[in-house]
Amino acid sequence: MTEVLLILLLVMGFLALQVRNLLSAVIFLAVLSLLSSLLFYHLHAPDVAITEAVVGAGVSTVVFIWLLHRTERRDDT
């Protein structure tokens, strides 16, 4: 279970770096946060899991999407 979650985390991080549409990147990051929250829960750290789910998947996604709304949607570098 731990190994599967860790590999999925790597995949999500790679996708978030590679994808050109920044909104998709933000969503990949949110999924990464959710998966790592699952990982923390699996490793018997429910307090950290709650924090990761709320801050990583919730509030920071909102802040990132607000930022995208103010700037560019695509990464053209």
Q: Cα–Cα distance between 36 and 13 in angstroms, integer? A: 11
Residue 6 in contact with other proteins, rule: CB under 8 A: no
Measured in whole angstroms, how far is the alpha carbon of residue 67 from the centre of its chain? 16
One character per residue 35-54, x = contact with other proteins (rule: CB under 8 A): -----------xx-xxx--x
Confirm or reject binding of residue 13 to other proteins (CB under 8 A): no
> What is the spatial distance between Cα 62 and Cα 27, in angstroms, rounded to a whole number?
10
Binding-site ranges for other proteins (CB under 8 A): 46-47, 49-51, 54-55, 58-59, 62-63, 66, 69-70
